[in-house]
Amino acid sequence: MDHEADAYRTDLMTITRFVLNEQSKYPESRGDFTILLSNIVLGCKFVCSAVNKAGLAKLIGLAGETNIQGEEQKKLDVLSNDVFVKALVSSGRTSVLVSEEDEEATFVESSKRGKYCVVFDPLDGSSNIDCGVSIGTIFGIYTMNHSDEPTTEDVLKPGSEMVAAGYCMYGSSCMLVLSTGTGVHGFTLDPSLGEFILTHPDIKIPKNGNIYSVNEGNAQNWDGPTTKYVEKCKFPKDGSPAKSLRYVGSMVADVHRTLLYGGIFLYPADKKSPNGKLRVLYEVFPMSFLMEQAGGQAFTGKKRALDLVPEKIHERSPIFLGSYDDVEEIKALYAMEETKN
């Protein structure tokens, strides 16, 4: 990359310009998606700024404690949720919202309704907040069914029906990765401009990778195929080099690395959690959507992840996602197990 030329580029492709360009390919489009997305972007900018200040905020009072004015300070994940819900409702383009933070779905009042439904985790990887490790926001977007009143049926649909998905990572830089079903594109926040600029057009995941990413602390409870797969990563018998293990424990960071470097991310089922840990609607589906759009695969141990049909809004599923060939290997191990039984 020509960094010098890049520093002086004047023709900046902001995320809004990018989506407007995409939209112009559809003459019937009325700009609703662009408006929705700019509200999601606003939420991401707010959370990015709040995450950056999180360490400093401790000087004036810990989250959950009272501040100088005697008001209770909101925890970062609760604050992020409030910001996203308000931004999405005020966009006037949503009808149903499902957030990791809220037990029930939010149905937008009729005067503010629009055709989209958004499922999201406002601050994923929250156990990493206090040590400054990368965390993120994950979102998926559906369109409403053609019924008058919004219901949870509007979002209890296979991930393959999402019209867009993405995440924003609050790390050494703030990056928003988005797919509207035509490839995956990465935008980096330029703090001086306050704009997300296209820095990673058309991301393609390498066909195979040399990194596996899993919480090995759960190994004693894994099933046969997962155990065999991880064993193979560490002690390959075909002469190939052993894979490296990288696990942040923050889904956005682990999936982001997998997307850019290749390899596989696993959160399998285990004896203690037969459905795994990660949530279908706002973790498994958006990340699987992005993986497939980037040329990778996402598998649940039984089927293509995007073919799942969730019955509950906070349902969980095991997930294996990443480079095409690496996921193909774990699929083969599960297929072998099934023929044995």
Q: Residues in the site for ligand FDP, rule: CB under 6 A?
A: 124-128, 215, 249-251, 254, 277-278, 283
Question: How far apart are alpha carbons 120 and 46 in whole angstroms?
Answer: 16
CB of 238 to ligand FDP, least distance (A): 29
Q: Which of 46, 23, 47, 18 shows the shortest CA–CA distance to 33?
A: 23
CB of 147 to ligand FDP, least distance (A): 31
**Helix 251-261 to helix 285-293 angle, to the nearest 10 degrees?**
10
CB of 339 to ligand FDP, least distance (A): 30
Instruction: Return the number of the residue (18 or 167) whose C-beta is nearest ligand FDP.
Output: 167
CB of 254 to ligand FDP, least distance (A): 6
Instruction: Return the number of the residue (36 or 291) whose C-beta is nearest ligand FDP.
Output: 291
CB of 215 to ligand FDP, least distance (A): 3
Q: Which of 205, 164, 169, 162 shows the shortest CA–CA distance to 187?
A: 169
Burial category of 175 from C-beta neighbours within 10 Å (exposed 0-12, middle 13-18, buried 19 and up): buried
Q: In what order do the strands lie in the sheet with 244-245?
A: 244-245, 211-213, 264-267, 319-322, 297-299
CB of 154 to ligand FDP, least distance (A): 23
Question: How far apart are alpha carbons 120 and 88 in whole angstroms?
Answer: 11
Lookup result for tokens 């296209």:
198
Structure tokens at 89: 């409702």
